[in-house]
Amino acid sequence: MRILLKLVIDCDPDAAWRAVHSPRAVAELYGPVLDLAPLVPGGLPTSWSPGDDVPVELSAFGSVPMGRQLIHPSDRFVDEPEGRVRIFRDSGIPLTGPLASLDVWDHQMAISPAAGGKTLWRDRLVIGGPTAPLLWPVLWSVWQWRGARIRSLAPSWAHDETTERDAAAEA
């Protein structure tokens, strides 16, 4: 079963690409409804890197346990006539909680240029397993809310303080 989003967001593709790799941006995306906490002593990385295995704990409204998830990112690039498509894939799995009943969890976000310096954001979640038909309506609703959050937060991604600090240090 699939859940798809296709949005044109108000930031450039580089800013969107930084955001999909940023644990801080992910936390902002789901907050304040879902909290994402690291399960490793060193905390969350500054940026998700291909090949990482990052276990996190999810909780709703700061106190209701929602389970643990393993985040396993990878990157892929596809050149198309309209420009380069950058694809971030989280092929990690839910470890505990309601989503752990799924046999398949494959989340991909494709970032590509759109007119006017904006970004075409395509988001695809594929789920499978015996509970997928029961969980699909809930996840579909979460993904609609997620799309609204992406749209509202995207303009702020162009002003990533870490990136601006790094650029100033290089100058």
| pTM as predicted | 0.87
pLDDT in the model for residue 161: 52
Residue 168 lies in a domain: no
How far is C-alpha 60 from the geometric centre of its chain's CA atoms? 17
Q: CB-side exposure of 29: number of CA atoms within 13 Å?
A: 19
Q: Which residues of the chain have pLDDT under 50?
A: 163-171
pLDDT in the model for residue 164: 47
Residue 140 lies in a domain: yes
Number of domains in the chain: 1
pLDDT in the model for residue 118: 96
Residue 164 lies in a domain: no
Residue 160 lies in a domain: no
Per the structure, the complete domain to which residue 66 belongs is given by 2-154
Residue 25 lies in a domain: yes
Among residues 23, 8, 26, the alpha carbon closest in space to that of 110 is found at: 8
Residue 163 lies in a domain: no
Among residues 156, 160, 153, the alpha carbon closest in space to that of 30 is found at: 153
pLDDT in the model for residue 117: 93
Q: CA–CA separation, 78 vs 31, rounded Å? A: 31
Residue 89 lies in a domain: yes
Q: Give per-residue pLDDT as tens, 65-92.
A: 999 999 999 999 999 888 899 999 999 9
Residue 42 lies in a domain: yes
- What CATH number did the domain enclosing 143 receive? 3.30.530.20
Q: In what order do the strands lie in the sheet with 34-38?
A: 34-38, 54-60, 64-71
